[in-house]
Amino acid sequence: MKNYFEIYSLGGIVNLIYNTLKTKLFYPRAKLVRFPIDFRGKKHISYGIGFTTGRYCRLEAYPIDKKSLAILIGKNVQINDFVHITGIKKVVIGDNVLIASKVYISDSSHGSYSGDENDSDPNSIPKERLLFHKEVTIGNNVWIGESVSILPGVIIGTGSIIGANSVVTKSIPDYSIAVGNPARVVKAYDFNTNRWVKS
């Protein structure tokens, strides 16, 4: 059993007890929600057993069809302080995912900038531009490092790791380590040697 006095100060233990009681009251399926937290469109967000959050997280779900779930979080997912997740189409996070602090995940953006006929006019007001959206999927057992941004249309494969400060603009295969801006794969796990191998 953990010795919480080795981990937390007395004030930290009091805060932990307060957050645990409040979690059981308002988020009974979660393991621990650290307050304050901001759930916007709560009825469009689902989370599995064992869900844990840090403080000042913001999860906002505004599905286009007004009915479906826009953020689906699996079992035993841990998100840390200041994580911001936005879903208007669908953001799916698998089981046992670890997300560090200050991570941004979104399936949408104000406007389109891909170089086709749907591009947004730069003279228009940014917040009034048509929302562009494309589903985001994060596989099981993924670890996302500090201050990562994951943009619309990205799929992060099972067992992959995204290094701190990366900006993920394209999909990452299973069992890969990706870093940088834009993120690129630098290693992949070799199941024959049981080692991470440079790409």
Q: What are the catalytic residues?
A: 110
Cα separation, 90 vs 71, in Å, equals 6
Dihedral of CA 16/106/102/126: which sign? negative
Helices marked H in the chain:
4-7, 10-26
Q: Are strands 78-79 and 45-47 parallel, antiparallel or unpaired?
A: unpaired
Tokens of 167: 């900006």
In 3D space, the residue among 197, 149, 153 whose CA is nearest the CA of residue 177 turns out to be 197
Which residues, listed in sequence order, are joined to residue 197 by a DSSP beta bridge?
A: 188
